[in-house]
Amino acid sequence: MATATMTSKGQVTIPKEVRIALGIDSGDRIEFVEVEKGEFTMIAVTRSVRELKGLFRGKRDKPVSIEEMNSAIARRATRSR
């Protein structure tokens, strides 16, 4: 299990094995999503949302609610452990 220590300034160095697994490098953005009270998952945000345009065209007939999106994110986060 990878571990890290937070500095007095709130900074944490992400262990190399975690950076490799997430595919992140210096300057990449990371998002922290709360999946349960006091439990977060870390997601690499390395692509622009514009790159996703058209990716899901024809995959869904009706719009998805915010609640459905949050639920899907939480399910995926718990499966990645």
pLDDT digits (tens, 9 = 90+) for 17-67: 999 988 888 888 888 989 889 899 888 887 666 766 776 666 667 788 899
CATH number, domain containing residue 1 = 2.10.260
**Domain, as residue range, for 63:** 1-50+59-81
The per-residue pLDDT for 80 is: 58
The per-residue pLDDT for 5 is: 95
Record the pTM. Answer: 0.51
Q: Which residue has the tokens 């999106």?
A: 69
How many domains is the chain built from? 1
The per-residue pLDDT for 52 is: 66
The per-residue pLDDT for 76 is: 82
Query: What whole-number distance in Å separates Cα of residue 34 and Cα of residue 68?
Result: 15
